[in-house]
Each structure stands twice: as structure tokens, then as C-alpha cells.
Amino acid sequence: MPFYASPGIYVEEVPSGARPIGAVGTSTAGFVGVAPDPNAPQHEAIAVNSWSEFLRYFGGGDDTPSTPLARGVYGFFDNGGGRCYVVSVGRTDPIAGGGRQRSGLDLLESVDEVAIVAAPGYADPASYEALLAHCERLGDRIAILDPPEDVPAVDRLITVATTGVPPKKATAKSADQTEAAPAKAATAEPAGLRPRESAYGAFYFPWIVVRDPLSGDVIATPPSGHVAGVWARNDTLRGVHKAPANEPVRGVLDLTYRVTRAEQDLLNPKGVNCIRYFASEGVRIWGARTLAAEASEWRYLNVRRLFNMLKESIAEGTNWIVFEPNDGLLWRSIRRDINAFLTRVWRDGALLGRTPAEAFFVKCDEETNPADVRDAGQVVALIGVAPVKPAEFVVFKLSQSLAGPETE
């Protein structure tokens, strides 16, 4: 309560109580890879806002050879990306980081702004696992995974990739003992090429053919950087709730492999997003699935990314709640702020429903916060939303009647 010592008029500023929740950004990417310049800063997350800025930090001289990282970052900006963080690693360094000092992907953990992660050109099982584990652990970003450049058979993309080499036994050796050669895989079947199931990863096939931004040569390159740019452009123009598919990929001259419709019938249910060539539209992304199981509620990429945005936005926008008195006034404030935020999301077309009541609900009251919950220092709010899902399969049913053809 304010203290009044003497008679007079006191003017006080009274807060309105409204604390708007703003949507966090979803288009900032984080790239890990080998920079063209071997003398560029390594194991440091550097913010880059343009291609010229990338060249200033990582480009090197005129005769510096290009790398998948350089072509990926160029494709990101060329396709509409506006900001990214780049971590350069040594040519023999793993992207996972580890060790006594933070390196590789570990450096992106402290950059909360990053929502898309890619390591152009890294298409081995260890790199897949590092990228997926990084995104699953943080829960606020999605990994874009590249396929191997050489895929001998398309059906190998539906089988999970493994190293095929058994682990070494942890036995003591004398100084003159040498390492035994690794045993061959127990199975004679060809190894798969697809990453494991995960709701926090998206896998694209095949590699794309572009003009190298450093040398000017026409060269095949991994698609992850260009795809990240398409995601960023889609988020800016339409919103994160729109599936980043049926979108043109700028700067692509051709594909290393042209997927047919029959082949995509095999790949799409397994979460392999195809980049396809169409005679009238050119090269387009023709898939919008995560690596989650087909029956999973997170199989659609835009649904997973929308929930990432909602989670982080609500968490950051309600940080003021911590240590507030846990009573009815606080519960009403929580309901008011989250309802206002989700109403804006619904108006943007991200939630399904004719009215806000059909699109979402927010419950925070005595029922969700009984005495034992309050005694534990907790405040619980239940939030439910109905996300829009992409029209992945468009079906027109035609029939004939005596009066002529009819369309259902």
C-alpha cells in the first residue's frame, strides 16, 4: 500500500494489467559446416545478415574453393532468408561438438533465436543423430537433413541409416597391441540411407544443381540451405502455419535425380520430402512432412513448427508470472493474456474454427490449481489448440448424370 504522510493530492500511475504476448521469430537459421577460408573463425557462432557479410567472415580470397556451407548460406539468402548464425568447424571435426570446450552444434544451444538448423553436406548417421538430438533436446527448432549425394536405389531412402560397424570392446591393451580391424556388418543387406524417426527433423531428396557463388561453376550441392531459405520466405509471406511446400526453389538449374510420382508414393509415407521438377512450374518442394511416424500427430512440418512457436511465445510472454501471488487474480491475468495471443494467431489463419471458442481454449482456475498444486508452488494452465493441416491430398470426385457431368 502507498504511504501518505501529509494532506494533499497524489497522482499515481496505475498499470493496466495487460501484458501482450508476442510471437517469436521462426525464420532464423543456424548453419554448421566447413567455411571456404581455412583461416576463418572456428567454433564460434557468428550472426550473419547477408551474403556479403558471410564473405567478410568466412569467404577468403578470390581463389578460395567453395564448400557446401558456402553454397547453403548463399541459397538461404537467395531464397528469402534474412538472418542466420554460422559455426565453422575444421574439415575433420564432427559437427556434434563435445569435449572440454563447446564447439559445433553446442554453440547454437545458447542462441535462442535459432529456429532452423542445418549442416549442409553432412549426410552420415552420426551427423543425422547429432542434428536430431540437438533439436529434440532444445525443443524449439527443426533440423533440415540432407541425403547422400549418391543414392544407388531410391528404396534405400525408406530404411534407417546405420553405421554397420559394431562398437569396440572396452578391454585393456598392452602398449604393443594394435587395434583389430572392425568386423563386417552381420547382415548382407544394403544399409539404409534415411535418418531415424523424429518429429524434430525434415529430410529432403535429391541434391540440387546450382551455379557456385564463388567459382561460377555449375555444381551439385545439398538442398538444406536453399530449403531453409524457402522456409524463411514462407514464414514471412504466409506464416509458420503454412506448409513450406509447393514453393519454387530459387537458383536451382536442375536436379541430380528426377523423382517420379510412383517413387514419391514410396517415399512420402516415410517422411522423405521430394524436390521435383515440373514442366510448367519448374523445380518445387513437393513434400511437407517431418520424420515422425505416419500415424503421429506431428507428421506435418507446419504443425510441429507452429507448436514450437506457440510454446516459446507463451513461455517468454508469461515470464512475469514467476513469484506472483498464486490466486484468482493471477489466474484471470493468465487467461486474459493467452486468450488475446491465441485470438491473434486464429485471426492469422493458423487455427481451425469459425470462432475463437472452436479454435482454442485456455483453462486456469481453481480446478487446475487445487490446494496441493498451490502448496507445491505451481500454477497450472491447460491450453488446447486446433491447428490447420495442409491439403496434402486434393481429391475431386466426378460422376455422370442424365443431365450431364456432375462434380462432387
Query: Is residue 178 one of the residues assigned to a domain?
Result: no
Percent of the chain with pLDDT over 70: 90
For range 278-290, the mean pLDDT: 95
CB 17: neighbour CB atoms within 10 A? 10
* CA-based nearest residue to 302, from 237, 346, 350, 246: 350
CA neighbours closer than 13 Å in the CB half-sphere of residue 335: 13
Partnered with residue 248 across adjacent β-strands are 284
167: pLDDT strictly greater than 50: yes
241 close to 348: Cβ distance less than 8 angstroms: yes
pLDDT tens-digit map of 217-275: 999 999 999 999 999 999 999 999 999 999 999 999 999 999 999 999 999 999 999 99
Q: What is the DSSP-derived secondary structure letter of residue 212?
A: -
Judge whether 379 lies within some domain: yes
Residue the block writes with cell 487445487: 370
d(CA 399, CA 405): 6
Segment 166-171 shows an average pLDDT of: 54
The burial of 41, by beta-carbon neighbours within 10 Å (0-12 exposed, 13-18 middle, 19 or more buried), is given as middle
- The reply to whether 371 falls in a domain is yes
183-199 pLDDT per residue, tens: 444 444 567 899 999 99
Under 8 Å between Cβ of 6 and 93: no
Let me know if residue 322 belongs to a domain.
yes
Q: What is the DSSP string of 58-102?
A: II--TTPPP-HHHHHHHHHHHTT---EEEEE--TTS-TT--SSS-
Q: Are 282 and 120 in contact (CB under 8 A)?
A: no
Mean pLDDT (the chain, rounded): 89
pLDDT digits (tens, 9 = 90+) for 73-124: 999 999 999 999 999 998 888 888 776 788 889 999 999 999 999 999 999 9
Q: What pairs with residue 405 in β-bridges?
A: 400
Residue where a domain stops, chosen among 253, 275, 303: 303
How confident is the model over 170-186, as pLDDT tens digits?
544 444 444 444 444 44
Return the percentage of the chain with pLDDT > 90, whole number: 76
DSSP 51-65: HHHHIIIII--TTPP
One domain, residues 380 and 296: no
Do 330 and 268 lie in a common domain? no
In a shared domain, residues 203 and 333:
no
Segments forming the whole domain that contains residue 331: 318-385
The reported pLDDT for the residue numbered 6 is 86
Both 73 and 97 in a single domain? Answer: yes
Same domain, 237 and 128: yes
Instruction: Please provide the size of the chain in residues.
Output: 408
Task: Provide the number of structural domains found in the chain.
Answer: 2
242 domain-assigned: yes
Whether pLDDT at 130 is above 80:
yes
Question: CATH no. for residue 198?
Answer: 3.40.50.11780
- 341 and 248 share a domain? no
What whole-number distance in Å separates Cα of residue 143 and Cα of residue 222? 14
Question: Is residue 182 included in any domain, yes or no?
Answer: no
Residue 105 lies in a domain: yes
State residue 273's pLDDT score: 97
Q: Is the pLDDT of residue 164 over 80?
A: no
User: Does residue 148 have a pLDDT over 70?
Assistant: yes
Instruction: Classify each residue of 217-248 as buried b or exposed e, where b means 16 or more C-beta atoms within 10 Å of its C-beta.
Output: eebebbbbbbbbbbbbbbbeeebbbbbbbebe
Calculate the CA 257 to chain-centre distance.
25
